[in-house]
Structure 1
Amino acid sequence: MLIREATAADAEEIAKVHVDCWRTTYKNIIPSDFLDKLSYEKRKDLWIKNISKDENYVFVAENKDGKIVGFADGGKRETNKVNNSGDLTSIYVLEKFQRMGLGKKLIKELFLKFEELGFNTIFVEVLEDNISRFFYEAFGAELLKSENIKIAGADLNLLVYKWKDISPVLLSK
């Protein structure tokens, strides 16, 4: 598997991974009518914008056939007022390619970029019912707070995790 920085030409494939992962990850968490209405085309437009932002960093995982099977992105959210910090804003790997170390490789690339930028504290938001929160915990993220949010009419708990030390991610193999 190849991990590399994304280009605008990747937006369509990233959008497909994003929508497909939402449909599997959030099944039975977010109402199905909302998930069914997700659009590859709208997500493609979103990813063109995300990739083109100067202070946003997107990395993709490609399989041996050159198809994108996962991605991670981050930077610094406008709401993040903490000095020398950044945000892991999303990471998704297609279900078929999970548990192969791709998530670890993706966040490691992103965190190497964060280290280069001088970010020593990283935040990530995750729904409490999303089991990927254990992935973040395994790499040293600590629960900072929980807040209630609504998505598609569903009341959900959003957990905010914080890495005070990104070395466990950077030192992972």
Structure 2
Amino acid sequence: MKIRKATLTDAKGVAKVQVDSWRTTYKNIVPDKYLNQMTYESREQKWKDIISKETVYVAENNAGEVVGFSNGGKERTGKYPNYKGELYAIYILMEYQRKGLGKLLLEPIIEDLKQQNIFAMMVLVLEKNSSRLFYESLGAKKIDTVEIDILGKKLNELVYGWENTAIII
């Protein structure tokens, strides 16, 4: 596996990982209608925009295909003053999960934050998403619960935080 900074040409692979991951991870959590309307094309355009403005990292398999990605930066809401950094997204294709790739994708985000003198980070994760156990295993503590609405379905997002990201690496 190779972890590297994403380029605009990675947007298509990142979009595929996001759509496929959402459809497997959030099946029976997020409304099917929402999952079914996600397209590779619409997500590719969105990721081109994100990659041009934010830090995104990709994981490539031995064939050079994008099989996972992460992105993060400064905390966006201002609601968590003790957590200046935020992991915005981390997704890995199902067949590549539970192989240590998540931690490898977190490391460059943490390093980028460290370069900005940011050592505390938070992440939002749907309460019913079993991937939250990944964050807990890395020492994240639940700091809040936020209710969101996806196509009329009320869902809880858990806010996890690390006061010191050094414990992750």
TM-score range, shorter chain: over 0.9
Displacement after TM superposition at 1:80 (Å):
2.9
The match for 1:34 is: 34
1:65 partnered with 2:60: no
The match for 1:25 is: 25
The match for 2:87 is: 88
Q: Secondary structure at the match of 1:156?
A: strand
| Structure 1 residues without counterparts, runs of 5 or longer | none
Number of matched residues? 168
Task: Give the letter aligned to residue 3 of structure 1.
Answer: I
Task: Give the letter aligned to residue 51 of structure 1.
Answer: I
Displacement after TM superposition at 1:130 (Å):
0.4
Measured in 2, the distance between the counterparts of 1:167 and 1:6 equals 24
Of 77-86 and 145-154, more deviation after overlay is shown by 77-86
Task: Give the letter aligned to residue 64 of structure 1.
Answer: N
Measured in 2, the distance between the counterparts of 1:9 and 1:113 equals 21
Q: Secondary structure at the match of 1:120?
A: coil
Measured in 2, the distance between the counterparts of 1:98 and 1:71 equals 12
Measured in 2, the distance between the counterparts of 1:91 and 1:100 equals 14
The 3 A distance-change label for structure 1 pair 138 and 33 is same
Measured in 2, the distance between the counterparts of 1:50 and 1:107 equals 18
Measured in 1, the distance between the counterparts of 2:69 and 2:123 equals 15
TM-score, L = length of structure 1 = 0.93
